[in-house]
Homo-oligomer: A and B are copies of this chain.
Amino acid sequence: MYTSEQEEIALFAKVFGHPARVAILQQLFKIDACYCGDLSEEIGLAQPTISQHLKELKHLGLIKGNVEGTRVCYCIEPKNWTKMKKVLYQFLDQDIPKADCC
């Protein structure tokens, strides 16, 4: 029904389609590494909710979590972030017709 490219674009875009995940990622960029509980406090969502969003981001490979005792330190996974960017850029950067079409 859809090309694998279309599916991939949609999958990546979907994960950014909720402000909580955008906020999580912005926080990880800002402070470089962060614990689940800190994100929960910073963003204002319950811990299980943050955990759930982190799981989705991790599943797509955009972040990784490192266990440090009882806590888990999350951060951006640079390689996959770059790969994701390439996929989305190819879609977003399509040539726009100069003249109005209709």
Contacts and interface: CB of A to CB of B under 8 A. Distances in A.
Given A2-B19, A9-B16, A19-B2, A75 B92 contact: no
A70 interface: no
Interface in A2-53: 2-3, 6-7, 9-10, 13-23, 25-26, 29, 32-33, 44
Given A10-B22, A26-B6, A73 B102 contact: yes
A85 interface: yes
Interface of A: 1-3, 6-7, 9-10, 13-23, 25-26, 29, 32-33, 44, 64-66, 68, 73-76, 78, 81-82, 84-85, 88-89, 91-98, 100-102
